[in-house]
Amino acid sequence: MIRVQVPATTANLGPGFDCLGMALELYNIVEFSKIPRGLIIEVEGEGAGNLACNEGNLVYRAARQVFDRAGYMPAGLRIRLINGIPVGRGLGSSASAVIGGIIAAKMLCGTDLSKREILALACAMEGHPDNIAPALLGGLVIYASVDDEITWTKVDLPAGLKTVVAVPDFTMSTRDTRETLPHMVTMRDAVFNIGRAALLVAALQKGDLSVLGTAMEDKLHQPFRSGMIPGYKKVVSAARLAGARGVALSGAGPAIIALADNNQELIAEVMKETFRESGVNARSLILAPSPVGARALEVI
Q: Which is nearer to ligand HSE, 40 or 124 (CB)?
A: 124
Min. distance of Cβ 130 from ligand HSE in angstroms? 5
Residue of this chain nearest to ligand HSE (CB atom): 251
CB–CB of 143/133 below 8 Å?
A: yes
Min. distance of Cβ 175 from ligand HSE in angstroms? 9
Min. distance of Cβ 128 from ligand HSE in angstroms? 4
Beta-bridge partners for 249 = 256
Min. distance of Cβ 12 from ligand HSE in angstroms? 5
Kindly give, in sequence order, each residue whose CB lies less than 8 Å from that of residue 5, ignoring residues fewer than 6 positions away. Answer: 27, 28, 29, 30, 294, 295, 296, 297
> Measured between alpha carbons, how far is 102 from 118 in angstroms, rounded to an integer?
7
> Measured between alpha carbons, how far is 129 from 117 in angstroms, rounded to an integer?
13
Q: Which is nearer to ligand HSE, 57 or 131 (CB)?
A: 131
Q: Which is nearer to ligand HSE, 7 or 74 (CB)?
A: 7
Min. distance of Cβ 108 from ligand HSE in angstroms? 28
**For the stretch 63-75, what's the b/e string if a residue is b when 16 or more beta carbons lie within 10 angstroms of its beta carbon?**
bebbbebbeeebe
The residues that touch ligand HSE, with contacts defined as CB under 6 A, are 11-12, 17-18, 90, 128, 130-131, 174, 178, 221, 251-252
Q: Which is nearer to ligand HSE, 31 or 130 (CB)?
A: 130
CA angle 63, 66, 72 (to 5 degrees): 100
Q: Which is nearer to ligand HSE, 12 or 193 (CB)?
A: 12
